[in-house]
Structure 1
């Protein structure tokens, strides 16, 4: 209790002492590399309170309110504003009026950062309007993702979804697929075939059946489009919402027609007219009834259901109808991805949803491949009138039926977040087992709110079962959550002893929301059959299934493209990634490396990095290995298993392409034994909207962080826990002695750095651990914090509602005597991969030529581009080659911040026994933060353990003799200065 009170008084005193000295965000300020500040988005829209953090109301809430106030969508007014008639734009906007791809007098917006353009619309008839845009994305290698927009009306964001709108591209796979040396198809990469397109703005997640509507009263309005993606814009049209009748009503309005005499039309689902997401990939399925099916070979014969499952992902197919009339449409489909879960699709014929039942058509769960027509709930097939000639069928992912359930669970997470903050305030962040709590008295309303939340989740689960048609994995997970909550309610006074249980409940609910947001569906074929005619056979017979099972069983023993013996004729390369990565590299090598050098290459799939040890011991090591974990080259170099790259005369040319700090782990005894392949590092992430509201600036140093922490904590917010690597390095600690004989953390600089690290919890009240930076950042409980570049992509893809409301900056540093701010950071473990040449190779020069080619800027850019096109932005390739990295599709402002942090990138050296260091540092942290042990004593204990293990390993490798004397020093390299290699890309 005394410790809790002391912490509270310290925070209060610090807050009062700071007073007006807390830095305030300057209007229009913009952070640049090196610590300048970043301005915030000026629109935050409507707000509803949670603590001091606000959120914009969701579309369904606003739409309901508008309708209560009398706004109607049933009107006949249409207003079109030409793209060339903009009335204002941001000072940095690169806009002009010109010609683009066959159209004159259009807005050509070459955005290269956060920019905005405004239009004036004059409305004569008030009401609810859908917005349709005629646009053309820029088609080039740097612009592959959809165009993200933030739309405001008269300076305000009417609802949350208006912040995260997208205009999509059109893609098509390059077919026929190429084949590898084994006769297996290589998964084709999609090409951007975007042209001039029209799109009615919809919510990004596909949570609503219809396009979004905006309320416009009579008079003039200013529409602002904000974004950072280039495009050409022909027009913006404001129009009434389209009416969609039921099947029975729509059927009566269609033409009369007699029976159609024609053969069934069969469409191979993988042969799309276009898809609006390049990540919708083809898949190989070995069901014998799939088409095409090639015995013994991989054939990409279906659409991958796992990759066609989210947001507004849409696919369109075209087909020729021989005779006007009525047809049935059926699918050979597989929908068994999640037990008992239904998936939903909006189905469009010739660009329109023909009747309301197809706005969110249910594909029920069924095991295995099934054939079924589009039918009503009784199973009666719908009939579609199709005119003679070219027709299209399109299918778009939607989660509209589940939107109320997801909203309920989102609200539940918000309540749990608030309760967690209240509990943290009550306990002061200290889990005091010796204190007795009476929660109903100590925190009035907490137990009642928690109980009401449990009842609400029970009702949510029952509604979910109704919508889905049966219990599924999500409803069963909700049962588990309810049991956890009931257990906590039985003993409410024990809740303060373990507040992390509330965080775990939030995590479980978030997982279920993610699961419901996915609507997978795999397709093999589409059939268009004259009405009244029997459908073709769409499923394998029992005998065919048995035949297929037997064949696939024996075929599974067939040797795959994996590591094998070097036949002496080709360069043997092993790649520690999945088959698509391997096939992509093999194709590039065949296309450019071999014709240029005459060196034949075989890229093999390395399924498990541990196989290297066995194969090397058997004398079957590869020439080159790609995708090696960071510690592997050093461990092999210690044992004479890697080739010293410094022996090549042009090594220095390669060295200069990478940050000096990225080479450190691959240095051993005077040589370099691998080339950095990929790397990520930490950045500072911040919520522009929340910092602006609190009047806080983006911190440049840790002293700045300490000054803003009381303000954050007063508002039930906090800063992220911080890993030791970067914190200790920037505070002057050296991990190892220069000769590698032991830990360097026992110096006074190391001890003070360790104290500063543990003070984050002991003195400044930062949380001891964090379950999910993404979730905390998204809900605003961590409006600022440190995370790696993977969080950047996750926020970009999975938090569209924060579009334009967050930014990145270099991590806070420590000011040095000369005034510079040191921001040293190391990489993120598993993402630090390397390429190396094995010592056993008989082709060292050929291996070196391949390694140089593979890590060159041009090849890295091409590989990254193809990878992102195939899998989507979530698979961004974090190449360590800076010349390639800057050519990837980063927002310019963010790239500049990343480059500033890149100059301070420095990995920790490797020594024999270095694996002990991280473990002992964590043990020391636990002793100091959790157990209250003195920081100096705790670290000294850790240093002793580290030294013991390092000495043992140094003796094993004969750097130290049996008496502890140094036989030969290891001589570690140091990188004391930031890298100047980034300067050529930094914009002053």
Structure 2
């Protein structure tokens, strides 16, 4: 018996080693052509735009295959001694030598310049230029360009640069050309005298820019190594622009301050006179419309008006990422030397410094300005730009108009961020090691010997611990002191130290390694933001003292006292309004409220004659309390999809079906969006916005693995072994797709019981749990965005907010990812059912209103295509792309600046949108289904038994609530039925927009 046990143990070790070796080898021998596991037949075809995504030239290595960072490649070039001293090469924009078949290019005039290339890109396109290089070297690239201007064009122009079909480093895949934005000043005021945040106007003109990495992570512009001879430069992108010329030239050298000062001429003399004061909010231009203004009530902030909202500063939280840049113009009376001072606040992350690149008249004056550090402090600070010894820097300015520019930069932190990202990847590999050893099952009765079973594990894990300690020390050095992030890293180090102290116990605590990954990924995300709030700047003659910029203790005390007393001065209360004025509450931010009020005054009131007062609703809890007190509004907007039902069942809302033209409103939206607002024969809410679950995929990684975008779940199941053999996987998926796509409903039509234990319901639950039990999909994921960005998750289902996050925060993935409708189930007629829920926000009319008809007119206007289009465009113009308005009105949705291929995928998924109904007690549904999933997947309990247990718990709570609201009596006998609506057909209302979208895309 002992001999048998010893033999079984040895065989187990051999099998584990073979598995690990096989998995590793798959990473080196990836399939070169799609195999059976990746096939998609023509009958199952996805939208053409998605299918085309995976047919193009990938242009060399990809991020998922370990494409190097620019810093790594630049270091190699420097070690080889490649020179950056050479001549200039200029290529005219119209002189392109090739283009993609779909490239929309013409040569002509644009905005007062003749003979330029007008590239009206609408989808992924490319153009190529032949470059003749006489002298080998490192070249910076400068492009003279003009962005297209209009409501459809708001984002930066993103280009993928390749030389000779190769991207030398990751950052070359995403370089950005920016626009010029200018706030409309002075700000308008509301009826209380408070300023309304001003929108931004696109004031772009012909500009010239040296290409930088889109993340703002390097001090200098990007360089490309070109050997002598002929090269082909390819520019790929989907953003339209006009190009005058492209210059390849030597990078501009920037000396340190001491060298610059020693070279100054006699014109750079010390000067005297009054300082020039610049209000930060009055910038000449900014390169991102989302850099907004903020108001600060510190008594020393200017301008200042007690008790009023005055936008008197640059919003630090919105000026914190990428290459966000703000410029101010000012005049000085004479040539000479000047000091620069500014009043700033940098208190966003405890003890963490922020960095800015500072330019004067378009040039960084000396190297110390490449990444100037602004230290942390709890309040406003006044500072003069100075060296480590407190000696002010002196800047040479010319008489007349000058420009001062400040740009966000992460340059000092970039090496640290790269190392931290590698540590996160290392932890993920260690989790995979433990999973391969234990088979994913934690057996508390088994004893492990990690050093024997995984010979390199301890060395590798200790190496990660040592590297994390080094990262922490370097971060302290760059930051100038310990901060919240380094303290968090120290906590992770302590956890790693404990595991190293009892290394054999780690097999039972692999979840701790996953938790560490999540924490470090969060720290990495925080490092990428550099917030800085700015009140005003001073240009001070070198012979003069810098003005005082901080309030005295007495001024602070006096200002605080007056502000406190001013809070007792009454403004209009939330529940009040003028007689005959429609009272609307909005559960969104102040910018949304102000814009809705502005549009109502401009569009709705003149047409309808109905006056509207829009109020900010801080919390839905406040709505509950005020409704109970009898001071509810007439209309409320921005409510979650559950609230209308909760109010309706208690008699608090107006039944919208009572309006004679309700059916016209109903036709505006997909039937599946109305389901949550149904109660007892009526509809008590109207859809405002909705979010979609979409399939996100990395084009580069799927191409490398020979895989196609999955069309059905069978395609997914066939792909998973290939993904898993390459240490990749599918993240968790919500349950709605599996229930709905199997034809199941969550509740019986009468609304009195669940429908989960029907054959279709059980099939949906089993497929959901089989995804993890049989097909081994990931059971948890710390961050879809971080994992998808790094390439460890090349495919997954997430909502439409992930789209915005990737567009805004992951520009380096330009052209490397796409979205598609979620996988579905093949039907007998050859169609693929893709039913999925998402999420809806709503507008309602309260029951006790005396202005029900006026409220209905307002809701009809607010949800109309005209109002939604205007609001969606204006809110994005005001706050940037991160505020993309996901309207439920499909006509308005089509006017927003989505990429053509992406909107086609969203429209396909829109057809299959179907929300979960609300019934009394249905709040138990999500919790108990998750409990059932835990029992089946984590505890290994039979799926049918687990689901039946969940159904009992759900129906017990439903019975209690159904009795409370008189749907069944105390004996369980039915008194009345809810008669829930059932949606079984995809929405045909999408079809006209699919056709019009295709036609619009074909227009020149």
User: Within 2, Cα distance between the matches of 1:848 and 1:34?
Assistant: 40
Moved more, 496-505 or 972-981: 496-505
Q: What residue in structure 2 maps to residue 880 of structure 1?
A: 888
Q: What residue in structure 1 maps to residue 263 of structure 2?
A: 253
Q: What residue in structure 1 maps to residue 451 of structure 2?
A: 440
> How far off is 1:940 after superposition?
1.7
Trace 1:469-618 onto structure 2 (pairs within 5 A): 469-559=480-570, 563-618=574-629
Question: Any conservation in 1 of the 2:49–2:904 contact (CA below 8 Å)?
Answer: no
Moved more, 742-751 or 926-935: 926-935
User: Within 1, Cα distance between the matches of 2:41 and 2:712?
Assistant: 18
Q: Deviations over 1:34-62 (max 9, x none)?
A: 985641552353479xxxx5121000111
Question: Any conservation in 2 of the 1:90–1:116 contact (CA below 8 Å)?
Answer: yes
Q: What residue in structure 2 maps to residue 39 of structure 1?
A: 54
| Compared CA separation, residues 895 and 265, structure 1 to 2 (3 A) | same
User: Within 2, Cα distance between the matches of 1:765 and 1:784?
Assistant: 15
SS of equivalent residue, structure 1 residue 224 = strand
User: Within 2, Cα distance between the matches of 1:906 and 1:697?
Assistant: 27
Trace 1:860-899 onto structure 2 (pairs within 5 A): 860-899=868-907
User: Within 2, Cα distance between the matches of 1:947 and 1:524?
Assistant: 58
> How far off is 1:177 after superposition?
0.4
Trace 1:803-952 onto structure 2 (pairs within 5 A): 803-828=814-839, 832-952=840-960
| Compared CA separation, residues 139 and 671, structure 1 to 2 (3 A) | same
> How far off is 1:402 after superposition?
1.4
SS of equivalent residue, structure 1 residue 366 = coil
Trace 1:186-335 onto structure 2 (pairs within 5 A): 186-257=196-267, 258-335=269-346
Trace 1:21-32 onto structure 2 (pairs within 5 A): 21-23=36-38, 31-32=46-47
Q: Deviations over 1:569-599 (max 9, x none)?
A: 3100000112221111111111221122211
Trace 1:331-410 onto structure 2 (pairs within 5 A): 331-410=342-421
SS of equivalent residue, structure 1 residue 86 = coil
Structure 1 gaps of 5+ residues are: none
> How far off is 1:731 after superposition?
1.4
Question: Any conservation in 2 of the 1:332–1:371 contact (CA below 8 Å)?
Answer: yes
> How far off is 1:621 after superposition?
1.0
Question: Any conservation in 1 of the 2:270–2:338 contact (CA below 8 Å)?
Answer: no
Q: What residue in structure 1 maps to residue 693 of structure 2?
A: 682
> How far off is 1:840 after superposition?
0.8
> How far off is 1:542 after superposition?
2.1
User: Within 2, Cα distance between the matches of 1:171 and 1:180?
Assistant: 24
SS of equivalent residue, structure 2 residue 311 = coil
Moved more, 794-803 or 874-883: 794-803
User: Within 2, Cα distance between the matches of 1:930 and 1:664?
Assistant: 33
> How far off is 1:640 after superposition?
1.7
Q: What residue in structure 2 maps to residue 959 of structure 1?
A: 967
TM-score (norm 1): 0.95
> How far off is 1:893 after superposition?
0.7
| Compared CA separation, residues 493 and 474, structure 1 to 2 (3 A) | same
Q: What residue in structure 2 maps to residue 166 of structure 1?
A: 176
SS of equivalent residue, structure 1 residue 986 = helix
TM-score (norm 2): 0.94
SS of equivalent residue, structure 1 residue 685 = strand
User: Within 2, Cα distance between the matches of 1:219 and 1:835?
Assistant: 64
> How far off is 1:337 after superposition?
2.1
> How far off is 1:962 after superposition?
2.8
User: Within 1, Cα distance between the matches of 2:53 and 2:332?
Assistant: 57
Q: What residue in structure 2 maps to residue 98 of structure 1?
A: 108
User: Within 1, Cα distance between the matches of 2:497 and 2:921?
Assistant: 48
User: Within 2, Cα distance between the matches of 1:35 and 1:977?
Assistant: 24
User: Within 2, Cα distance between the matches of 1:357 and 1:613?
Assistant: 56
User: Within 2, Cα distance between the matches of 1:120 and 1:20?
Assistant: 37
Question: Any conservation in 2 of the 1:629–1:834 contact (CA below 8 Å)?
Answer: yes
User: Within 2, Cα distance between the matches of 1:61 and 1:530?
Assistant: 43
Q: Deviations over 1:710-737 (max 9, x none)?
A: 1111111111211111221111211111
Question: Any conservation in 2 of the 1:644–1:672 contact (CA below 8 Å)?
Answer: yes
| Compared CA separation, residues 951 and 117, structure 1 to 2 (3 A) | same
User: Within 2, Cα distance between the matches of 1:68 and 1:10?
Assistant: 40
Question: Any conservation in 1 of the 2:676–2:918 contact (CA below 8 Å)?
Answer: yes
SS of equivalent residue, structure 2 residue 373 = strand
Trace 1:714-729 onto structure 2 (pairs within 5 A): 714-729=725-740
| Compared CA separation, residues 31 and 255, structure 1 to 2 (3 A) | farther
User: Within 1, Cα distance between the matches of 2:283 and 2:799?
Assistant: 37
1:178 to 188, 201, 211: 188
Runs of 4+ residues deviating >6 angstroms: 7-13
Question: Any conservation in 1 of the 2:173–2:812 contact (CA below 8 Å)?
Answer: yes
SS of equivalent residue, structure 2 residue 676 = helix
2:66 to 32, 55, 73: 55
1:639 to 618, 638, 650: 650
SS of equivalent residue, structure 2 residue 489 = helix
Question: Any conservation in 2 of the 1:321–1:390 contact (CA below 8 Å)?
Answer: yes
User: Within 2, Cα distance between the matches of 1:108 and 1:141?
Assistant: 18
Q: Deviations over 1:777-819 (max 9, x none)?
A: 2222221111111111112222222211111111110111222
User: Within 1, Cα distance between the matches of 2:34 and 2:301?
Assistant: 71
> How far off is 1:74 after superposition?
2.3
Moved more, 281-290 or 495-504: 495-504
| Compared CA separation, residues 366 and 388, structure 1 to 2 (3 A) | same
> How far off is 1:955 after superposition?
2.2
SS of equivalent residue, structure 2 residue 198 = coil
Matched, 1:797 2:808: yes
Q: What residue in structure 2 maps to residue 783 of structure 1?
A: 794
User: Within 2, Cα distance between the matches of 1:327 and 1:494?
Assistant: 64
Trace 1:703-782 onto structure 2 (pairs within 5 A): 703-782=714-793
Question: Any conservation in 1 of the 2:50–2:901 contact (CA below 8 Å)?
Answer: no
| Compared CA separation, residues 351 and 124, structure 1 to 2 (3 A) | same
Structure 2 gaps of 5+ residues are: 1-7, 27-32, 999-1004
Question: Any conservation in 1 of the 2:19–2:436 contact (CA below 8 Å)?
Answer: no
Question: Any conservation in 2 of the 1:34–1:810 contact (CA below 8 Å)?
Answer: no
Question: Any conservation in 2 of the 1:41–1:805 contact (CA below 8 Å)?
Answer: no
Q: Deviations over 1:129-160 (max 9, x none)?
A: 00011111111111101011111110001001
